Structure 1
Amino acid sequence: MTVHRSKSSQRASPEAERLVADAISLAASGSQIEDRFWEGRLSARLLKLMTSQNQNVIDAALDQTFRINTVAFEVLADCAETLAESQTMTVDKESWDVLLLALPIVAHTRYQIQSGPLPVKVIESVAMAMHASIAASDTRLAIVPWLYSIDQMPHSHCQTRILTEALGTAAITASEMKLELRNMSETIAVLADPRFIIAAIAAPSGSPLFRWQAEPPVRQERGVSLIEWQTAMREPISSLLPGCEFELLLPEAYFTNCRLADKQVRPLSIRAAVNFLETAVGAQPNGLSCVVGAFGEEQADEYRIAFSLKGSPDVMYGVIWPMYDRETVSNDALNDINDDESPIKKICDALKEAGVEDVFRHAVLFSPELCDDCGAPLFPDRHGEVVHAEMPEDTPTQQPLFH
């Protein structure tokens, strides 16, 4: 999945400029008929770029709109995501609507979160639960036999569209999907992280994909579908992720659910850090203190949370709270906890819920520095210095990471 945080002010290519112009025009449109005109033109340009695997032009256009027009950025991002995760396919003269789905599992543990091949029994459980609780009648499914970590997911719109097409074809024709799963990147050992099952759902064009789209009496509300999904999948996922606590999110469109899972895991990463420090150094939550600072080049891209023993100036551990495309905070409100939707308020609430009472907030934007030797992120101390997090000497040498 893509996260667009503009870093460069270099002039974009003519192709990117045309995308930007169309996105701005669509954002300024005042009628549905004009919307359709600009949507058609923008979609045609994007589809041509995705077909030729020209992701750099799409990224450049997203970066430029992010800098100059946030509404146009939303328009362009939505259009690119839609083309990447959905298609209309024709097979044997019949038209099908295809949507790529992410089935998120937001997990945390004191041990290890598994990823890799999915057992046949779990795949069968997913298919049964999808047809029983999520998918509308007359739909077809294709499920990738792999439990993905975030590092293994498609990282661009172009790659996502290729996956959508492969899974859509497999779902419609009930054929074997043509995917290379042997050379997946290694998963970083993280104690709070989402895992994903990826699937495609296909329905005859114009008919419902999901139960909540159907007409009564077949129609079922999303909340009911979620409860049934969680109930049906609790045991299969427990066997797949031993020693983990987890939450199952509603199967939904790929990009929406990737963002939602990333956001859901952030408070869990704080809880996992507190649990780990209690085990590793014997520190109770109320015996910890935290320093929180915003990091970024020109705007906040993430917050870094430094953990210390109460009364000690030494940073022994750190957690990163990333921000995503559609999250922003002005540089004069980096430590403002009056807004319930602000990142710093959510961080402080998560620390409080984890039992950490001593929290110091910096009001300045730090440069996102990394250690020159090992590449690890540096974390803020109370004096405003960014330092390497170092566990006490008598703690285990194998240290897990957090989101």
Structure 2
Amino acid sequence: MRRSSKAGSHKLSADSQRLATFAQAIVLASSRLEERGWESQLDALLQKLLRGDHQETIDAALDQLFGSDANAYDALMEAAEAASESAVIEHDDLLFDALLLAVPILAWTRFSIPSGPIPADMLMTLSAHLNAHLPAPNVKFAMAPTLFAIDQLPRSHVETWTVTQRLAQAALKGTVLRTPADVPETAPFLADTRYLLAVVVVPAGEPLLRWQATMQLSDRDDALTQWQAQAMPNIARLLPGCGIELLLPEAYYVACREGDRQIRPASIRAAVHFLIHTLAVDARDLQASIGSFGEDAGTGRADEYRIGFSVGDTSDVVYGVVWPLYGEEDEEDLSELATLPLQRLAAGEIPRPTPLEEITTLLREAGVVRVIRHADRFPMEFCDDCNAPLFPDPDADLVHAEMPEDIPQGATHFH
């Protein structure tokens, strides 16, 4: 996932320059063997920097590449994520591979979505369910005793590396981590993801996950089905009053991105449900204004959509939803109809909907019939006072979303 450049014009340190050079060399490699050689050097340097808590060195290289070499940026980001969510650990004179997993839980409610410590008996039950179906046989396994909100997860590669190391040691030694004492409070969104974190550890080179051991990809689907069936009653106890969907546990960064993607439709449905009940209006009375937003509003790609909700014919935005984009999720990049071969069209193959089309469909399915899609791309503007995102109103002005003053205050944050 890309981020904006912050320090691309600054002179790089020697290690930052080496990171950038290795990433560029991987992209330019003419053989898999050469590529693996560069990857080995990049991985070794990343491990040294992660152990030394030098996140700023990694960030500087990423910032430099962001604006100058998109392919090398992606290569370095992928390598940094892999180095922080996995590890080779020596224990009792043996080498072990460790992989940090995230378990996404989609939740939506009109009230609050809990997070925080997991009771010991619940942790044991959830660990047993997950361990029974996800890891390969004889894998050592450990789960963090916390239900995390997205803003309580590790924020940097160094923080992720630290969690991976601690959980891996807990798995090898058969101990349980303590719940962190300084977990920050989380904003009360109407729809949000919660995460369990776990690690799997195996002797170096052995399969980590069940479908690797069986070489049956169908075991992925079976693992998800079993996890959903067995864990749902326990997760429901952790998240009372919430609608819940459990996703497949996967490697940390992939699972987090998938959780972010999958919560987006629930965010729109939860917003409409909240507004019609809180404001005592019909969905047909709502008006949705959709705008695309990017760091470079003039020429750059969209980074997210923002949807501003108004009531009746007023231009006041009472609520807003942010729909982040990932990879190449821009309607200008996803317009497959123009490039889809005629024979595939004749066979009835339907192009994948663009994010804008998906948002519009979700709004109409929720009963919102008045939808304005602004053609201009907006800058990524936020409130100077509270840093909340600004949303488009029907007149294409960017405004702060404000509930009417006579409405009781509840969950008014934006996803």
Instruction: Tell me the SS of whatever aligns to 1:250.
Output: coil
Q: Distance in 2 between the 1:147 and 1:7 partners? A: 32
For 2:289, the equivalent position in structure 1 comes to: 291
For 2:278, the equivalent position in structure 1 comes to: 280
242 and 180 in structure 1: CA distance in 2 versus 1, 3 angstrom threshold: closer
Q: Does the CA-based 8 Å contact 1:340-1:346 persist in structure 2?
A: no
- Name the stretch that deviates more: 80-89 or 202-211: 202-211
Deviation at 1:328, TM superposition (A): 5.3
Q: Which amino acid aligns with 1:303?
A: Y
Q: Distance in 1 between the 2:31 and 2:198 partners? A: 35
Q: Which amino acid aligns with 2:249?
A: P
Q: Distance in 1 between the 2:43 and 2:334 partners? A: 40
Q: Distance in 1 between the 2:2 and 2:183 partners? A: 21
Q: Which amino acid aligns with 1:197?
A: L
For 2:26, the equivalent position in structure 1 comes to: 26
Q: Does the CA-based 8 Å contact 1:274-1:354 persist in structure 2?
A: yes
Q: Distance in 2 between the 1:80 and 1:393 partners? A: 47
Q: Distance in 2 between the 1:203 and 1:183 partners? A: 31
For 2:36, the equivalent position in structure 1 comes to: 36
Aligned-residue CA RMSD (Å): 2.3
Q: Distance in 1 between the 2:248 and 2:214 partners? A: 20
Q: Which amino acid aligns with 2:244?
A: F
For 2:12, the equivalent position in structure 1 comes to: 13
Q: Does the CA-based 8 Å contact 1:288-1:309 persist in structure 2?
A: yes
Percent identical among aligned pairs is: 42
Deviation at 1:192, TM superposition (A): 0.7
Choose from 208, 223, 226 the match for 1:225. 223
The C-alpha deviation readout for 1:269-328, integer Å capped at 9, x for no partner, is 11110010011112222221110112233133322110012322222111111234x245
Deviation at 1:337, TM superposition (A): 10
Deviation at 1:207, TM superposition (A): 1.6
Instruction: Tell me the SS of whatever aligns to 1:311.
Output: coil
Choose from 304, 307, 313 the match for 1:305. 307
For 2:360, the equivalent position in structure 1 comes to: 348
Alignment of 1:223-262 (within 5 A): 223-262=221-260
Alignment of 1:150-161 (within 5 A): 150-161=150-161
Instruction: Tell me the SS of whatever aligns to 2:275.
Output: helix
Query: TM-score by structure 1 length?
Result: 0.92
Q: Does the CA-based 8 Å contact 2:142-2:198 persist in structure 1?
A: yes
Q: Distance in 1 between the 2:131 and 2:51 partners? A: 32
Question: Does 2:372 align with 1:360?
Answer: yes
For 2:320, the equivalent position in structure 1 comes to: 318
Question: Does 2:100 align with 1:88?
Answer: no
The size of the alignment, in residue pairs, is 397
Q: Distance in 1 between the 2:281 and 2:77 partners? A: 44
For 2:144, the equivalent position in structure 1 comes to: 144
Q: Does the CA-based 8 Å contact 2:110-2:411 persist in structure 1?
A: no
Q: Does the CA-based 8 Å contact 1:336-1:344 persist in structure 2?
A: no
Question: Does 2:389 align with 1:391?
Answer: no
Q: Does the CA-based 8 Å contact 1:4-1:62 persist in structure 2?
A: no
Q: Distance in 2 between the 1:176 and 1:384 partners? A: 53
For 1:208, the equivalent position in structure 2 comes to: 207
Name structure 2 gaps, 5 residues minimum: 338-350
Q: Distance in 2 between the 1:84 and 1:257 partners? A: 14
For 2:344, the equivalent position in structure 1 comes to: none
Q: Distance in 2 between the 1:149 and 1:225 partners? A: 24
Query: TM-score by structure 2 length?
Result: 0.90
Q: Does the CA-based 8 Å contact 1:334-1:365 persist in structure 2?
A: no
For 1:194, the equivalent position in structure 2 comes to: 193
Q: Does the CA-based 8 Å contact 2:319-2:412 persist in structure 1?
A: no
Instruction: Tell me the SS of whatever aligns to 1:209.
Output: coil
336 and 388 in structure 1: CA distance in 2 versus 1, 3 angstrom threshold: farther
Instruction: Tell me the SS of whatever aligns to 2:76.
Output: helix
For 2:181, the equivalent position in structure 1 comes to: 182
The C-alpha deviation readout for 1:239-273, integer Å capped at 9, x for no partner, is 11011011111111011101110111111111110
Q: Which amino acid aligns with 2:204?
A: S
Q: Distance in 1 between the 2:139 and 2:333 partners? A: 47
Q: Distance in 1 between the 2:78 and 2:141 partners? A: 24
Q: Distance in 2 between the 1:158 and 1:3 partners? A: 18
Q: Does the CA-based 8 Å contact 1:152-1:184 persist in structure 2?
A: yes
Instruction: Tell me the SS of whatever aligns to 2:145.
Output: strand
Q: Distance in 2 between the 1:335 and 1:29 partners? A: 29
Q: Distance in 1 between the 2:352 and 2:371 partners? A: 17
Q: Does the CA-based 8 Å contact 1:211-1:219 persist in structure 2?
A: no
Instruction: Tell me the SS of whatever aligns to 1:114.
Output: coil
Q: Distance in 1 between the 2:335 and 2:279 partners? A: 32
Q: Does the CA-based 8 Å contact 2:392-2:399 persist in structure 1?
A: yes
Q: Which amino acid aligns with 1:346?
A: E
For 1:374, the equivalent position in structure 2 comes to: 386
The C-alpha deviation readout for 1:66-99, integer Å capped at 9, x for no partner, is 3222222221111111110111111111221110
Instruction: Tell me the SS of whatever aligns to 1:351.
Output: helix
Alignment of 1:27-66 (within 5 A): 27-66=27-66
Q: Which amino acid aligns with 1:167?
A: L
Q: Distance in 2 between the 1:39 and 1:320 partners? A: 36
Instruction: Tell me the SS of whatever aligns to 2:255.
Output: helix
Deviation at 1:358, TM superposition (A): 1.6
Deviation at 1:150, TM superposition (A): 0.8
Q: Distance in 1 between the 2:59 and 2:358 partners? A: 29
Name structure 1 gaps, 5 residues minimum: none
